[in-house]
């Protein structure tokens, strides 16, 4: 069955540093990979989508990579700020696959 793995432990970093979150998937080959942000008590909010033929995608301080050989996506936030503290979810999708969400990684940026 399809499996998505994100670090279950919270990632703690200092303000100004780059945060890197990992999403690994097994047993399928998604054509797309989406990343969402979720704040406590709220629904997830879409951030970025990367296609399988794109190695990297950027949006402001965000960068996503997609390695279909490793079956992995990395999500980077550069110059992190306390306001970036949230849970980040990855969601592989594509073809017949309805987007399936990982359990998310909590990011805590300390001032």
Partner 1 sequence: IAGITQAPTSQILAAGRRMTLRCTQDMRHNAMYWYRQDLGLGLRLIHYSNTAGTTGKGEVPDGYSVSRANTDDFPLTLASAVPSQTSVYFCASSDGTSSYEQYFGPGTRLTVT
| Min separation Cβ 36 and partner 1, Å | 8
What is the C-alpha separation between 60 and 43, in angstroms, rounded? 22
| Min separation Cβ 61 and partner 1, Å | 19
Binding test (CB under 8 A) with partner 1, winner from 20, 32, 62, 78 = 32
Q: Considering Cα of 87, then 103, then 62, then 99, what sign does the dihedral take?
A: negative
> Residue 89 burial by CB count (10 A; 0-12/13-18/19+): exposed, middle or buried?
buried
Q: Does 43 participate in binding partner 1 (rule CB under 8 A)?
A: yes
Q: Does 22 participate in binding partner 1 (rule CB under 8 A)?
A: no
Q: Does 104 participate in binding partner 1 (rule CB under 8 A)?
A: yes
Q: Does 34 participate in binding partner 1 (rule CB under 8 A)?
A: yes
| Min separation Cβ 90 and partner 1, Å | 10
Q: Considering Cα of 86, then 46, then 80, then 92, what sign does the dihedral take?
A: positive
């Amino acid at each position: 069955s399809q499996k998505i793995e994100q670090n279950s432990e919270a990632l703690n970093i200092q303000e100004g540093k780059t945060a890197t979150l990992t999403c690994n998937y097994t047993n399928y080959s998604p054509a797309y990979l989406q990343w969402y942000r979720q704040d406590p008590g709220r629904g997830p909010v879409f951030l970025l989508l990367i296609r399988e033929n794109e190695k990297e995608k950027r949006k402001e301080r965000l960068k996503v990579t997609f390695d279909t050989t490793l079956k992995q996506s990395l999500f980077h936030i550069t110059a992190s700020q306390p306001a970036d503290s949230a849970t980040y979810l990855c969601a592989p999708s594509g073809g017949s696959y309805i987007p399936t969400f990982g359990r998310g990684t909590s990011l805590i940026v300390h001032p």
